[in-house]
């Protein structure tokens, strides 16, 4: 409860940069005034205008949650976490909101072998990789010069290049994979009170029910329906309007 009061109080409003100050101030004022639906609408407008950053999605999630739109709030906070994975406020809000979902679907944590993903966004991984590769290039230029001058290259001089190059390549591949997975392995959140997962379209057999806030994989789209999957429950079809796709690209 203390986390809820802390993170969703008036002090929970973040201040994203590079957005229209007037519109952002208006959205913040609506939130502080308890007009959560209007606040959410204005935060969403800022995002639709191309201002994609974790603070806006965090504020949007706060407004949606206070407006009792649990699934949409979870989706917004998931985008915020993708953009800023080390933000403790976002993680705490997500944990709290997931505890209020009816289905209580287990969310797989990051692979322990990819531990850096809990601290670095995909874009940060790629930037660090670029810096590392740049340093690696400078190192090879230095070593090449030494070789042209006929000087020996002891392992102690080669080791720093290897120590920088290998992690840089791993970070770059990791970040690129996460970005590509937005299209290859999209995910979503149920944003209606209840939806039936069916074997096919509207006339298929009901396989199971999902409720507001349930998180799932999106496998396919066809004629206004999505083929979705939940580990342990299997796959089935739901109307597209029942699911909000989690996409940090806005």
The 10s digit of each residue's pLDDT in 81-104 is 999 999 999 999 999 999 999 998
Which residue range forms the structural domain that includes residue 34?
2-98
Task: Name the domain boundary from 153, 184, 215.
Answer: 184
pLDDT score at 21: 72
- How much is the pTM? 0.85
The residue out of 161, 184, 207 marking a domain boundary is 184
Give the separation between CA 75 and CA 80, rounded to whole angstroms.
Answer: 9
At 160-187, the pLDDT tens digits run 766 788 899 999 999 999 999 999 999 9
Instruction: Note whether residue 65 is domain-resident.
Output: yes
Residue 20 lies in a domain: yes
- Average pLDDT, whole number, for the chain? 87
Domain boundary among 30, 65, 98: 98
The segment with the largest mean pLDDT, out of 95-109, 130-144, 180-194, is 180-194
Q: In this predicted structure, what is the pLDDT of residue 8? A: 45
| pLDDT score for 104 | 85
The pLDDT value given to residue 154: 63
Q: Based on the domain organization, do 55 and 128 belong to the same domain?
A: no
Same domain, 165 and 130: yes
How many structural domains is the chain composed of? 3
Instruction: Tell me the β-bridge partners of 210.
Output: 195
The whole-number pLDDT of residue 152 equals 64
Same domain, 76 and 19: yes
Do residue 134 and residue 200 come from a single domain? no
Are residues 38 and 74 located together in one domain of the fold?
yes
Q: How confident is the model at residue 135 (pLDDT cuts 50, 70, 90)?
A: confident
Q: Is residue 104 part of a domain?
A: no
Mean pLDDT in residue range 186-210? 95
We report the CATH number of the domain holding residue 226 as 2.30.30.40
| Dihedral sign from CA coordinates of 166, 167, 172, 177 | positive
């Amino acid at each position: 409860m203390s986390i809820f009061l802390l993170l969703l109080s008036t002090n929970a409003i973040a201040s994203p940069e590079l957005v229209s100050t007037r519109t952002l101030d208006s959205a913040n004022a609506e939130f502080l005034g308890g007009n959560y639906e209007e606040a959410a609408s204005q935060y969403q407008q800022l995002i639709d205008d191309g201002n994609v950053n974790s603070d806006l999605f965090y504020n949007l999630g706060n407004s949606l949650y206070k407006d009792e739109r649990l699934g949409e709030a979870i989706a917004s906070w998931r985008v915020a976490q993708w953009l800023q994975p080390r933000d403790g406020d976002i993680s705490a809000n997500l944990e709290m909101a997931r505890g209020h979902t009816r289905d209580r679907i287990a969310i797989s944590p990051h692979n322990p072998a990819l531990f850096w993903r809990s601290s670095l966004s995909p874009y940060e991984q790629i930037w660090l990789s670029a810096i590392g590769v740049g340093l690696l290039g400078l190192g090879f230029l230095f070593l090449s010069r030494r070789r042209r001058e006929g000087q020996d290259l002891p392992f102690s001089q080669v080791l720093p290049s290897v120590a920088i190059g290998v992690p840089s390549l791993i970070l770059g591949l990791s970040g690129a994979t996460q970005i590509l997975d937005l299209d290859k392995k999209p995910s979503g959140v149920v944003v209606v009170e209840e939806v039936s997962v069916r074997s096919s379209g509207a006339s298929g057999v009901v396989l199971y029910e999902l409720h507001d806030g349930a998180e799932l994989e999106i496998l396919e789209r066809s004629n206004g329906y999505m083929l979705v999957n939940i580990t342990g429950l299997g796959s089935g079809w739901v109307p597209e309007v029942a699911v909000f796709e989690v996409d940090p690209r806005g």
